[in-house]
Amino acid sequence: MHSRRALAAILASSLALGCQSIPPPQPAPAPASSSVETKETFFARGRAEVDFNARIQPNKRKAKNVILFLGDGMGVTTITAARILDGQMKGMKFGEENDLSFEKFPHLAHSKTYQANQQTPDSAPTMTSIVTGSKANDGMLSIAPNVIGPDPVAAAKPENRLTTILEQAEEHGMWTGVVSTARLTHATPAACYSHTPFRDWESDADLSPKAAEVDYPDIARQLLDFHVRDTTMNGKTSRGLEIAMGGGRSNFLTAADPDPEDQGEKGKRKSRNLVNEWTGRGGAFVYDQKGFDAIDPAATGPVLGLFERSHMEFELDRPKDTAGEPSLTQMTEKAIRLLQRSTKGFFLMVEAGRIDHGHHAGNAKRALTDAVELSRAVQRATELAGNDTLIIVTADHSHAFFMSGYPTRGNPILGLVVTNDDKTGLPETEPFKAKDGKPYTTLGYANGPGAVAGERPDLANVDTTADDFLQQSLVPLGSETHGGEDVVIYARGPQAYLIEGTMEENAIYFVMARALGFEKGKR
């Protein structure tokens, strides 16, 4: 998709920069026997986990609220590496013993991510699967799998429109929200509220000639026109989403509208200033940290937050944003505090969209720090939400991302592989060298922009923990690809016990629908 190629182009040049940087070599972990945990340590940790599990009782109550967290591209290797990175950033003894917040959830399962016409899927049909109960075709957002290709006429037929869990929540008078660090019109958030046979139709400037001819609504327009029933929110009428926050401001402004943050820049739409339409019907619009901070959950009506012209910043880069923008944790907290005022409950989808983008660029550090930020957001949600809230954390798909070698315990997860000495069992003093006489990193990619023609670069004097370093990859591609293996579903709260075993990805919808009492089957 266009967004993946663009992101790869932005970061691809950093490989050369990383290889030119020659800082002091990374020190290996100190070979001290006192750093080794004892058998009593492992006994206690393992026993505590089993004791915790033994106390788990299935919660069969009806849920008032559902919060769905989606780590875009957050496969098992990403979770493992992020867990270690988080622990090492916290100053833990090693890092591997750490847990991300959602790894403490009592219920989990594997999710089979294949889609109607894809063995290794993209984000559009996978999110469609999660929020509608039906798998879909490549590039489709909440459109039935019998539609093949970007056909606006077929997609417009009522029988080919898949009702989403968010739309059902609105039907039941619940308040709804979508939060993402990607563009709000990007595949994952858009699948919640829009229906389109081509995920790239984000604004009316992106429509195909045929789609424009039949006046097929672009995704941003569908967000504004989204309407199931009116609700009253803090004294204001809400016609659709009660809160929508993320990036993608350009898709809501016309080519004649100046951007409120980036001087000299304008929107991309051909018609309809959607921001003005939102505020014209009583909604609040914010685009920077100052505006975000001013939102009062107790008094504000519907909120549209568009903090970047395209995607929001990576968490690693967010502190350098000129106008300032909220973190995923801050947006999650604001959304929950606002939606909790609904007497009929709420449905909230929160996406850490830039995990995926970091991986596509072959840049593990940015992908992993965004995964760590997702863990913080989940932790805050569990602190704010009551026992009447089902919280699910999952991914839409994985990536061609791996963790390999035999690094010693506590080895920097972004560093070069340092093994243990065969005779002493203690860490070596120098990185392990492959058959070509050069060291390699623990983390790498099967394909992507980190591959180079000819001889593999020597990383001996390269800072592999640098922000812009691209992990080496095997197959040279402009953008690293998704992976096809199962991902994990984590759950806690009412009906969370239904997350168990190996499940079809679309079964997640049925867990949420059953928890909310919507239906036991799908029409």
Residues known to be catalytic: 123
- Cα 446–447–452 angle (5° rounding)? 115
410: phi > 0 → left, psi -120 to 50 → alpha, else beta; which? Answer: left
Burial 405-437 (b: 16+ CB within 10 A, else e): bebbebbbbbbbbbbbeeeeebbbeebbeeeee
The pairing of beta strand 243-247 with beta strand 303-306: parallel
202, 186 Cβ separation under 8 angstroms: yes
CA distance 4 to 447: 14
Question: DSSP readout, 441-498?
Answer: BSEEEEEETT--SSSPPP-TTS-TTSTT----EEEE-SSPPEE-S-EEEEEESTTGGG
From residue 324, how far is each of 261, 308, 309, 481 by CA, in Å?
A: 10, 10, 13, 31
Strands (E), 34-87: 65-71
449, 8 Cβ separation under 8 angstroms: yes
Backbone angles phi, psi at 42, to 5 degrees: -70, -40
CA distance 502 to 113: 11
Report the candidate in 315, 337, 316 with the shortest Cα–Cα distance to residue 326.
315
Burial 251-289 (b: 16+ CB within 10 A, else e): bbbbeebebbbeeeeebbbeebbbbeebeeeebbbbbbb
Please give the structure tokens belonging to residue 432: 């392990």
* CA 467 to the chain's CA centroid: 20
CA distance 257 to 486: 44
Backbone angles phi, psi at 39, to 5 degrees: -65, -35
Report the candidate in 154, 133, 184 with the shortest Cα–Cα distance to residue 350.
184
Three-state DSSP at 351 gives: strand
DSSP state, residue 72 = T
Tokens 């039949």, residue located: 214
